[in-house]
Structure 1
Amino acid sequence: MDGTDTDIRGRRILVIEDDFLVAQALCSLIEEAGATVVGPLGWLGEALAYVESNKDQFDSAVLDVDLHGEKSYALADWLAERNVRFVFTTGYGADALDPAYSGYPRCEKPFDPRALFRALASRNP
């Protein structure tokens, strides 16, 4: 990828995605762009326990809205409270996201890599 607005090289990106094939594709995209993948993790409880114990292992996150039927908002709140940049991902439209979280970046599946990387490249939540 070229352009500073999509440059994620050197970033450590936590991937939270419950679909194995989507997670694999996402991890490949991130690694090809020069970032390090942390995870992937696919369950909300597992992800919450991981971030609590490994706060310094990542600097941004890709967060699937729905993890095996559970909304990932508790994890989004945890990330936002610690100023960790994250991007919601969803296979549904914008209306699938709770209005309280509409101000956060969101990418729909299938991913447009440039849009995803642009959302991750920013350092401020």
Structure 2
Amino acid sequence: MSERTRVLDGRRILVVEDDYLVALALSPALEEAGAVVVGPVASVEEALALLAEGREEVDVAVLDVDLDGEKSYPVADALVAREIRFIFATGYGLDALAPDYRQYPRCQKPCDHRAVLNALKA
């Protein structure tokens, strides 16, 4: 892979996604771009525990908005408190996000991996 395509070289990216197939497809794309994938984790509880433990360094995150019926907003709040950038991944439009979370970058599912990579490198 050329240096130009390794846009996330060395970045540690937390993937919070409850759909195994989506996580399975996203993780290799991130790794090919030079990232180290943290997780994936499938629930708010798992993501918050991972962040609280502090054993895994996280530079940026991809958050599925709806994790088996639970919103990932507590994870977003924890990331904001730690000054860690993130993007939301959702199959719904902007109006489906709570108003306080509409300011954050998001990718519409199914996500184009190039769009995700561009959003993460910004």
TM-score (structure 2 length as normaliser): 0.91
Q: Distance in 2 between matches of 1:71 and 1:55?
A: 24
Which structure carries more relative contact order (alpha carbon 8 Å, separation 6+)?
1
Residue 120 of structure 1 corresponds to 120
5+ residue gaps, structure 2: none
5+ residue gaps, structure 1: none
* Deviation readout 1:84-116 (Å, 9 max, x if unpaired): 010000111111111111110000111122221
1:57 aligned onto 2:46: no
CA RMSD after TM alignment: 1.9
TM-score (structure 1 length as normaliser): 0.88
Q: Distance in 1 between matches of 2:55 and 2:26?
A: 21
Count of equivalent residues: 121
- What's the secondary structure of 1:25's corresponding residue? helix
Q: CA 1:2–1:64 in 2, change beyond 3 Å: closer, same or farther?
A: farther
Q: Distance in 1 between matches of 2:86 and 2:98?
A: 16
Identity across the alignment (%)? 56
Q: Which runs of 4+ in 1 moved over 2 A?
A: 1-4
Q: Distance in 1 between matches of 2:82 and 2:55?
A: 9
- What's the secondary structure of 1:118's corresponding residue? helix
- What's the secondary structure of 2:31's corresponding residue? helix
